[in-house]
A and B are shown apart, each in its own frame.
Chain A
Amino acid sequence: MRPKTEAELTESIASADRPLWVRGGGTRGIFGDGDVVETGALDGVSLYEPGALTIVAQAGTPVRTITALLDAEGQRLAFEPMDHRGLLGTVGEPTIGGVVAGNVSGPRRIQVGACRDFLLGVRFVNGAGEIVKNGGRVMKNVTGYDLVKLMAGSFGTLGVLSEVSLKVLPKPERSAVVKVHGLSVSDAQKAMSIALTSPFDVSGAAHAPVGVDGQAVTMIRIEGFEASVAYRARQLVALFAEFADVTVDTETSAVWQSVRDVAPFHDRLGDVWRMSCKPSDSPALVAKTGGSDVVLDWGGGLIWALTDAGSDLRAKLGSFDGYATLVRAEPDTFATLGRFQPEARGVGALTSALRQKFDPRGILNTGLMG
């Protein structure tokens, strides 16, 4: 099914007598059983007001279309959504609805927030085939419950998004990356913490134990007006006095695209896990993954790990403040281990009950998210 309007989408869901599988561009590697409902034909930007930092688009609108529009006005999606195609080997066109449904955010999440923090409003069709709207197109809105946040990251389990409103931000004039070379994971975590607890408004803090030249590299990004970026780069270099090898680059987009899309794991075999944790726990968690096949982002609060196919990383990690999501694996590994970390009993019960309310027939993305 490929509905062209919200009304057709409503009809597809209301008349469904079998489970449905919701798909945007199909690039995020989330597949399951059910008649596919594809949102790609719900395409178009209905409002863009650069002076109000607001864009409203139908859910199937390609991210590329939105990025191009924003680019022309010197603006951007500040939460820096990842493109999963390289990591997962998928093809197709990522949609803005897919970004929202997965709450997909990149390195700048630590500074400006996640996709959910930029989502101002949604329209969606729930599992009963009813249109529901929540939020709107203004930046501050506490009118009623925040179903906007609930829909972000709900992976199509509560309803199918038909329209999203997002806050956008101006692109900075300049960007720089301060690189510290040759650090261990625990020293890197320390360096990132120094940067993030400084007043210098860091917009990215990542670490690759094996950088492009084979050496470990810790990367700190700053963005803004020219003089300000130069000033803050100097200040950060001074803060890193205890580290021997520190450099500053002004060409930064390739570096952060590589971190955002986890480029070191492209074209390499094995499963990929994504862990969100307390940043200072990252060295111990990395040790438990048993290797240097990791990329750290969010100052250590996000760990990407490449592991042997089929191995249960969650069992190795034990319980920690955070969660581990299996992002890339063979279908039977997904079936055995589950994509998402199992939830604690109380929260799990609330989640199931919410799904039952929004999708009383249990037809939307059945089996995904517990």
Chain B
Amino acid sequence: MEMPIPNHDIVAKKDTLVLRLSAFLPSDAIIHDEAQTRAYECDGLSAYRCPPLLAVLPRSTEEVSSVLKLCHEMNVPVVPRGAGTSLAGGALPTADCVILGVARMNEVLEVDYDNRFIRVQTGRTNLSVTGAVEERDFFYAPDPSSQLACAIAGNIAMNSGGAHCLKYGVTTNNLMGVKMVLMDGEIVDIGGAHLDAGGLDLLGLVCGSEGQLGVVTEATLRILRKPEGARPVLIGYNSNEVAGQCVSDIIKAGVLPVAIEFMDRPCIRATEAFAKPGYPDCEALLIVEVEGSDEEIAEQLALIKEIAMKHDPVEFREARDADQAARIWLGRKSAFGAMGQINDYMCLDGTIPVSQLPFVLRRISELSKDYGLDVGNVFHAGDGNMHPLILYNANTPGDLEKCEAFGADILRLCVEVGGCLTGEHGVGIEKRDLMGDQYDPADLEAQMAVKDVFDPKWLLNAAKVFPLASSKARRWAAE
């Protein structure tokens, strides 16, 4: 993956930059020692690493504003960072950049149950947002699998999803307002404790803009009352086609489960070996979860069972108690770890129309043979968001490149069947050079014009999202 050549004039200004930052940041908030900047050299896409010029860890919106204002004046690129869990390289530094980490800004600012929102600083982790409202049985719905570690800042940047977004939506559907600092240091407030802010939907535009439009320091998030209960069922099939048809029939029948998860045979076998959840050995496995009171759950599960049985499952397993429910989820939740036991893996994130599921799975298995790399599929079937996990060996020369080429073929396939490159992980550097497969030059131009408005010098996270060749003229203007 190509990254722009660091600008040596900027690297040469490091001492001046540290000195000027020291004027308004305490010394423990400026990390410039080379041994320490290594902590910021990569995110969850750890195949790519580059220590930044330095990192800063401000504690307030005002400090973020001062940092950005200074970098803007000195033409220093800035890469914002939440918890550094991006799987797409969204927080990957360049050698001439300042990493602006919001991790120290993790306070809850306001909890308002009557109006159903929480206002937090964005360094707060996803799970601890729910943690702050659990005492009254409320929760924050988006639940990316990294929710223990990932920060709200990164969730907003990538418009993160999760297993339960079939019912509750992704970050953008649960975000009501932000306080954001623009690259020139200006602080703007968008939205608030009301719905659908008037004027252009800048909130919708900022969410998912991958840290390229501004640094979000505070967020107003919608919180919901927890349902009375939830229960999963496990359904095994001996064909991906039939499992796909079952998903479609459940959706058409008017049941709206909170989650429909899908695992294929390679993934089932790997998780069985790793976590021993007691899954049936079959071609395709569905986990369907519904919510409500006991009688509501029973009503929905009866309907799901009726539909599932029409397709002649290998197994239909209901959870009788919390322990059985946990076992049904255990394999799904350990799927990534299980694949990681076998080898290094790359996790893809394309979305496809649900109707194309069987065809795409068949093509992926053909491509797997062509490339000679194994692949397991585990994904959110209800909304077509796939997560093929391609296994490779990082120590075998050429294996990573082969894996990336395979991954790119799968993502192009997703686009060909009417889907997209990324459903919830973001473009980052990982899918940057495939953007031309989904979008025409005019489509990309319209998006880059938005960045021109928010960050005219293209200093914020600039080498991401857009193919380097497309953004080159703009990034050069910054230098």
Contact with B along A87-120 (1 / 0, CB 8 A): 0000000000000000101000110011011000
Given A139-B351, A198-B225, verify A225-B300 contact (CB < 8 Å).
yes
B192 proximal to A (CB < 8 A): yes
A173 near B254: Cβ-Cβ < 8 Å = yes
- Which of B252, B299, B431 is the one whose CB lies under 8 Å from A228? B299
B107 proximal to A (CB < 8 A): no
Q: Determine how close the nearest CB of chain B comes to the CB of A274; give it in whole angstroms.
A: 10
B251 near A231: Cβ-Cβ < 8 Å = no
Given A49-B355, A228-B296, verify A136-B201 contact (CB < 8 Å).
no
A14 proximal to B (CB < 8 A): no
Contact with A along B224-264 (1 / 0, CB 8 A): 01111000000000000000000011011111100000000
- The answer for the CA separation of A363 and B225 in the assembled complex, in Å, is 46
A142 near B201: Cβ-Cβ < 8 Å = no
- Which of B115, B248, B451 is the one whose CB lies under 8 Å from A52? B248
Given A147-B205, A170-B253, verify A140-B170 contact (CB < 8 Å).
yes
B226 near A199: Cβ-Cβ < 8 Å = yes
A301 proximal to B (CB < 8 A): yes
Q: Determine how close the nearest CB of chain B comes to the CB of A153; give it in whole angstroms.
A: 5
Given A126-B446, A152-B201, verify A138-B186 contact (CB < 8 Å).
no
B188 near A347: Cβ-Cβ < 8 Å = yes
- Write the chain B residue with the least CB distance to A123: B443
Q: Determine how close the nearest CB of chain A comes to the CB of B153; give it in whole angstroms.
A: 15
Q: Determine how close the nearest CB of chain B comes to the CB of A78; give it in whole angstroms.
A: 10
Contact with B along A316-353 (1 / 0, CB 8 A): 00000111010000000000000011011011101101
Q: Determine how close the nearest CB of chain A comes to the CB of B466; give it in whole angstroms.
A: 8
Given A142-B422, A197-B113, verify A113-B169 contact (CB < 8 Å).
yes
B161 proximal to A (CB < 8 A): yes
Tell me how many residues of A have a C-beta within 8 Å of chain B.
85
State which residues 412-465 of B face A: CB under 8 Å: 418-427, 431, 435, 438-440, 442-447, 449-454, 465
- The answer for the CA separation of A110 and B454 in the assembled complex, in Å, is 30
- The answer for the CA separation of A298 and B194 in the assembled complex, in Å, is 10
- The answer for the CA separation of A298 and B176 in the assembled complex, in Å, is 14
Q: Determine how close the nearest CB of chain A comes to the CB of B114; give it in whole angstroms.
A: 5
Residues of B within 8 A of A298 (CB): 195
A280 proximal to B (CB < 8 A): yes
Tell me how many residues of B have a C-beta within 8 Å of chain A.
95
B340 proximal to A (CB < 8 A): no
State which residues 382-411 of B face A: CB under 8 Å: 383-385
Q: Determine how close the nearest CB of chain B comes to the CB of A225; give it in whole angstroms.
A: 5
A293 proximal to B (CB < 8 A): no
Residues of A within 8 A of B419 (CB): 136, 138
Given A140-B424, A231-B293, A354-B450, verify A153-B196 contact (CB < 8 Å).
yes
Residues of B within 8 A of A348 (CB): 199
Given A51-B355, A143-B431, A322-B192, verify A199-B453 contact (CB < 8 Å).
no
Given A51-B249, A199-B228, verify A133-B439 contact (CB < 8 Å).
yes
Contact with A along B288-332 (1 / 0, CB 8 A): 000011011001100100000000000000000000000000000
- The answer for the CA separation of A114 and B176 in the assembled complex, in Å, is 12
- 7 residue pairs bridging A and B, Cβ less than 8 Å apart: A52-B384, A139-B385, A142-B158, A146-B172, A153-B201, A278-B192, A353-B453
Given A138-B383, A228-B293, 10 other A-B residues pairs in contact with their CB atoms under 8 A: A51-B251, A109-B195, A140-B161, A142-B424, A153-B201, A197-B138, A228-B292, A231-B296, A357-B450, A358-B449
A-B CB proximity, top 4 nearest: A149-B204, A51-B248, A140-B423, A170-B254
